[in-house]
A and B are shown apart, each in its own frame.
Chain A
Amino acid sequence: MKNVLEINNVTKNYGDFRALNNVSIHIPKGSVYGLLGPNGAGKTSLIRIINQITMADSGTVFLDGELLAPKHTADIGYMPEERGLYKSMKVGEQALYLAQLKGLSKSEAKKRLNYWFEKFDIMAWWNKKIEELSKGMAQKVQFIVTVMHNPKLLIFDEPFSGFDPINAQIIAKEILQLRDEGATIIFSTHRMESVEEMCDEIALIDKSNKILDGTLNAIKNEFRTNTFQIGVQTENPKELEAILKENFEVFPSDFKLLGNEFTTNIKLGATTTANDLLSLLASKGQVQHFVELIPSANDIFIQAVHKNQ
């Protein structure tokens, strides 16, 4: 798959502080890419470099095969974490202004805005000032001004913060639709459940370094510990536990099943397969529950950051 954005060996210093250290990230076209990392890791610095708000000290950034240049601001839509609009400016006027700054002609900008305002059913807000809108309403306007110029690359920093669940869902749907229409989405967030839901690939940045990247599936595979969660209906749980402890690494588990099953977590060694374990369990009783514990994005995040300490 072709990459829409290629960040190669980017380093950025603020005085003595190194915000990004030799970071390389490749973002495939048409994907939703999660940019993860703890606070202060360097995500915002990287996003600002992509937006040409600041420049990298060294390294290169290519957008669609071209070295990043001022004209590319028209190809990027950016919604910063700290949302902002002119408070005393009217919604329509402001959106027109921002669209024109992104290079749209006035008539084209009007056409696009009409489309979006009608889609979100907010035509009535056109002549209202931002300060008259609620936070959620302002967020919708913010979303529109981010996407209205049909950019190739959309960067959302914590896109769901400030939205109620219903509006968050509407926005998520819009984002996925934009991806289906060919846009590439960069998603910077702390909310891991939205990463699981939406991201195809992720990169994890911690302490100015990229410590992990790849497709979410590949990373999960990598972080797989071959651990299974089991639940067996047996006459003699003590005996079963003893046998299991003899053959495998056993971790206590606190999950609940409906009956009084014996439950535990079992980590398989390199030579045993899931089937071996399953047949052993089946010989001892009624297997009610047998699930591989696949690490969540959240687990991966925490583990990777801990490892990087």
Chain B
Amino acid sequence: MGKLKLIIQREFIAKVRNKSFIIMTFLSPLIMVAMGALVFFLMKKNDQKIKEIAYVDNSGLFSKEDFKDTKTLHYKDFTSLGIEATKEKVEKGDFFGALVIPKNDSLAILASSIEFYSKDSPGISIINSLENKIETKLRNVQLNYFGIDIDKINASRIRSDIKMFNFSGEESSKLINGLKIGVGAITGYLLMMFVIIYGTSVMRSVIEEKTSRIIEIIVSSVKPFQLMLGKIIGNATAGLLQFFIWGIIIFIITTVLSSFFGVDVVEMQTSTISAQQLEAAKQITGANKLQLVIQEILRLPILKLFLLFIFYFLGGYMLYSSLFAAVGAAVDNETDTQQFMLPIMLPLILAVYVGFATVISDPHGPISVAFSYIPLTSPIVMLMRVPFGVSWYELAISMTLLIITFVFMVWLAAKIYRVGILMYGKKPTYKDLYKWLKYKG
């Protein structure tokens, strides 16, 4: 085992000393935070720009009351100026747009003949807000016409908010569901990225040993299997180190930022976890709601998620990186790998798609469950399901299957690896690989 340790050490050091590793480890959290800050800043800037909209109301139904200014939209009544003159003003750039409400006796026809003119096409939110205003007003006019008291209608509106529970005692709500989707999607996607990044790094390292021809010297001292395993473990250790460093960096950055801006650390955490959460938090504005979000996030099984992420990263990585190693051994240079890469990437991509398509709509549906058992996809799909609460027996099945499969896969890949590393020249076909499996010793 001493030799395996030596190999792991060398692979780890070779990986960690690599410039791209250092850059990726120390720069990417900074870049991520910077990007986040930039997006936040731009969003603010974007919101801060006030758009002025002129309206020409020939129907006489609307009043100043109906066009109240908001933070980003200001309305001006130009009915007296007439349609053409107003449009001209917009064209000159005095206003962002002109809303033209014609006169018509039928409310239904009126509703569909309102026009909006602008130089730049308006965002969907502007149109939505305009349509909302018009619909509300016209509905009220209609209700009035039917002799119905609007106040009574408003008073009769009751909002229902179903609180959701599962039997492991986790309370859910629509808000936390959103959070769960966000957290699941991000961890699943991250896992795929990591498996691919570290898998290809193993593959490159195998190809490097092959092309530099040192492989023959190494395998005259150690068994090919030891070398392959050492390589896989060494790279995984580097990956774990990277997670660890990121954790520390994110912690430091958030602490520094929060003390700098005087924001509560916990509050900051909500923004680093997912954009969807931000969205969710924004929809129900108000300090109380934000408190709620924080509470909900803290209620997520963070430690469990973290441990499972590590487990599924290691499991998925072992499974795939052994395949990557076999591919690296089979070819002489990186350009020849493409043919073999596709079948490896396919299940990974499938897992992410299935995850996004099925887990989000029904985390415990048959498809989601099946794919969270199948070892090639389970690391990603299961991680996406975990925030929604997965029972221990399901996790046990999925984990056991994953372990069995990666042991089998490492064994299988080692057979190809062992032969491949000493083969040069012609790019092998799948038939060749099958033949190699049957070679003795």
Contact = CB atoms under 8 A, between A and B. Distances in A.
**A and B bind:** yes
Interface of A: 13-15, 48, 51-57, 70, 73, 76, 78, 80, 82-89, 97-98, 100-102, 145
A105 to B, nearest CB: 10
A80 B217 contact: yes
A84 B216 contact: yes
Given A13-B440, A80-B216, 20 more contacts: A15-B438, A51-B220, A52-B220, A53-B422, A55-B441, A56-B441, A76-B220, A78-B216, A82-B213, A84-B209, A84-B216, A84-B217, A85-B212, A85-B214, A86-B214, A88-B14, A101-B6, A101-B221, A102-B221, A145-B217
Contacts of B14: 86, 88-89
Which interface residue of A55, A82, A84, A97 has the most chain B CB atoms within 10 A?
A84
Interface in B344-398: none
30 contacts: A14-B439, A15-B438, A15-B439, A51-B219, A52-B220, A53-B220, A53-B422, A54-B422, A54-B441, A56-B441, A57-B441, A73-B220, A78-B217, A80-B216, A80-B220, A83-B213, A84-B209, A84-B212, A84-B213, A84-B215, A84-B217, A85-B212, A85-B214, A86-B209, A87-B208, A89-B14, A97-B6, A98-B217, A101-B3, A101-B218
B435 A100 contact: no
B10 interface: yes
Contacts of B139: none
Nearest to B17: A88
A88 B208 CA distance: 10
Closest 6 CB pairs of A and B: A84-B213, A55-B441, A84-B214, A101-B221, A51-B220, A82-B213
A87 B204 CA distance: 14
Contacts of B37: none
Contacts of A82: 213, 216
Given A53-B220, A78-B217, A100-B6, A15 B422 contact: no
B422 A48 contact: yes
Which interface residue of B209, B212, B214, B438 has the most chain A CB atoms within 10 A?
B214
B27 interface: no
Interface in B180-238: 208-209, 212-223
Which interface residue of B14, B219, B221 has the most chain A CB atoms within 10 A?
B221
Contacts of A145: 217
Contact of B222 (A57, A87, A101): A101
B214 A57 contact: no
Interface in B2-33: 3, 6-7, 10, 14
Nearest to A78: B220
A159 to B, nearest CB: 14
A5 to B, nearest CB: 15
Contact of A97 (B10, B219, B220, B435): B10
A102 B220 CA distance: 9
Contacts of A83: 213
Contacts of A70: 223
A87 B212 CA distance: 7
Interface in B417-441: 422, 435, 438-441
A108 to B, nearest CB: 14
A100 B3 CA distance: 8
B216 A53 contact: yes
B212 A86 contact: yes
Interface of B: 3, 6-7, 10, 14, 208-209, 212-223, 422, 435, 438-441
Contacts of B7: 101
A87 B14 CA distance: 12
Contacts of A100: 6
B103 to A, nearest CB: 80
Contacts of B215: 84
A84 B222 CA distance: 16
Contacts of A13: 440
A228 B209 CA distance: 54
B218 to A, nearest CB: 7
A11 to B, nearest CB: 11
Contacts of A55: 440-441
Contacts of A87: 208, 212
A162 to B, nearest CB: 12
A171 B101 CA distance: 98
A11 B205 CA distance: 33
A80 B213 CA distance: 9
B113 to A, nearest CB: 72
B418 to A, nearest CB: 8
A15 B7 CA distance: 31
A142 to B, nearest CB: 8
A152 to B, nearest CB: 14
B208 to A, nearest CB: 8
A33 to B, nearest CB: 18
A82 B147 CA distance: 97
Nearest to A97: B10
Contact of B440 (A57, A73, A98): A57
Nearest to B227: A101
Nearest to B9: A97
B425 to A, nearest CB: 12
A57 B438 CA distance: 13
Nearest to B421: A53
B217 A73 contact: no
Contact of B219 (A53, A56, A85, A89): A53
Nearest to A142: B217
A110 to B, nearest CB: 15
Which interface residue of A53, A54, A78, A80 has the most chain B CB atoms within 10 A?
A53
Contacts of A48: 422
Contacts of A54: 422, 441
Contact of A73 (B213, B216, B221, B441): B221
Contact of A15 (B3, B208, B223, B435): B435
Contacts of B6: 97, 100-101
Nearest to A130: B212
A231 B216 CA distance: 53
